Structure 1
Amino acid sequence: MRDNIELQYKGFLNTANLWKNSEIYGLEQFQFEAKLFSIENHSSFKEIRLGKRVEEFMSHQLKNLDNIDVLAESIQIKNDKITIGELDFLLRNKLVYIHLEMIYKFYLYNPNLNGDVLSKWIGPNRKDSLIYKLQKLREKQLPLLYSKHCSDVLEAFTIKAQNFAQQVCYKAQLFLPFESNIKDISPLNQDCISGFYISFNKIEVFKSFSFYFPKKLNWLVEPYYEVDWIDFVEAKKIINNCMTEERSPMVWLKNSSDNLQKCFITFW
């Protein structure tokens, strides 16, 4: 694969916010210029977990924007010596102070789940869900700023918690069921739709396709041609192992017309 860091960073920037303005739970989306800034030192990006790598990209972006001052980032909040949470970023945008939480997720729409439309978006392995994260943000992560355990941290900036606006940068790639006719995913942003998902027991429809399995950090990346493609027989062996482990891999698909697609193959 070509330069992973550059492609991951570009993929991060090109991913749309999951909703617009403050349409969901009153959580206001942070708006920033999605300009590509050169990365001089690739070794400065050390995180191997995707969520933390995305925070590194956001940090890089914020520090290159003229209108933003990063006051602090990855601030550990402790009760005695026990870490009870973390504030992702404290910023100043001109005269406005902002507590910013950064989230990047991959969600699949399962129309068979109970509940409202937001409850039907889940992680590829069914261990994560949009509704759970939204509730955690509203009830735990954002209120942490106003806790007594956070007051000592804020004293260093001589700024009271009440002076901070709270915003989120919640980006996501969304995947609809294979051959779905779903046209409207409101209140979520249509621009987040990145591909589809299909159950393992239906993948014979792709037996004439070529496959590529990106590593998790490269889930951020838009599919392109110059990778090591494998045929369906080889791909199915890898997918079988994933199914045994109850993991739903992301794959890139290439058909005979060289059209590229991104999808998840689910064990469920």
Structure 2
Amino acid sequence: MHTKTKDIQKQYQGYINTSPLWMKDSVFGIEQFEFRIKEETVFNEELSSNLRLGKRVERFVSNELKQDDTIEIVLENKQIQVEKRTIGELDCILKQDDTPIHLEVIYKFYLFDERVGTTEIEHWIGPNRNDTLVKKLTKLKEKQLPLLYSEHTKPILEELKLNAKDIKQCVYFKAQLFVPYTSEIPEFKLLNRQCLAGFYIHLSEIDKFTDCKFYIPSKLNWLMAIQTQVTWLNFDSFCGQINTLIHEKKAPLCWLKRPNGTLEKFFVVWWS
């Protein structure tokens, strides 16, 4: 069963148009990979409909890398195993102008909650509060990137005639960021303000939008820009669907169409 090609192309476009979570300076000592090409690219691969969002994004990144003549992909999605137990995975090793680069790929959705932590980085959490930006950066720094230097990775690198100490490490970390409804936009010192994608509200505030239309995209379609040619729900139908999700402690991404035609992305959260 394959996802509709048109949907995949829209997801790919949404991924392409998402900005990196930070730009020039490194965050947590982690450097962002910079793509040099900026041309429009198309995604022609077929993808299984059960390929989850993170893995889908890895296919999108691979496609984007292949468009650049200065890049050669050496290795992709290589699991590192010790006695049949997987200890981690290298997303990608590539060569850019003959410089070997270990690239980890991340795509996330974060909500701003200034009650969590004390720093800009600590304030960003996952929609269901079980994921945080700090947690992800820590995992990258302490687990995912150091995997390159593991003794269990060495034989794989030797086969590729590579030495870990010669390999530069980067991440390709993109994200959509959401801020509380009607609150001031927080200050962006380290992160990229262009990642701002919408707002979030608690279920109890939903009656502010009684005159609007709604749509709840599938998780894979969280990637894409808002589409107008969908079956929009009225307020009552939307409330019925959203209550079920919130009852299951799921915070869904939704699309909103105001009476004047303005379109916005937002999360409805179960926590307050």
TM-score by length of 1: 0.96
Distance 1:69 1:47, change over 3 A: farther
Shift, 1:113, TM fit: 1.6
Write the deviation string for residues 198-249 of structure 1: whole angstroms up to 9, x where unpaired.
0001110011100000101110111121111010100001110011100001
Shift, 1:39, TM fit: 3.0
Q: CA RMSD in A?
A: 1.4
Moved more, 164-173 or 13-22: 13-22
Task: For residue 121 of structure 2, give the secondary structure of its aligned residue in structure 1.
Answer: helix
Does 2:126 correspond to 1:148? no
1:264 alignment partner, one of 250, 262, 267 = 267
Distance 1:87 1:2 in 2: 28
- Aligned match of 2:74: 71
- Aligned match of 1:198: 201
Distance 1:46 1:248, change over 3 A: closer
State the identity %: 42
Letter in 1 for 2:252: P
Contact 2:43 2:60 in 1 (8 A): no
Number of matched pairs: 267
Distance 1:226 1:15, change over 3 A: same
Shift, 1:36, TM fit: 2.7
Letter in 2 for 1:38: V
Contact 1:47 1:53 in 2 (8 A): no
Contact 1:45 1:56 in 2 (8 A): no
Distance 2:215 2:142 in 1: 39
> Superposed, which structure 2 residues align to 1:44-193 within 5 Å?
44=47, 48-193=51-196
User: Where do 5+ consecutive residues of structure 2 fail to align?
Assistant: none
1:36 alignment partner, one of 31, 36, 40 = 40
TM-score by length of 2: 0.95
Distance 1:102 1:34, change over 3 A: farther
Shift, 1:190, TM fit: 0.4
1:213 alignment partner, one of 213, 216, 220 = 216
Distance 1:57 1:2, change over 3 A: closer
Write the deviation string for residues 49-74 of structure 1: whole angstroms up to 9, x where unpaired.
10110001001111221111000100
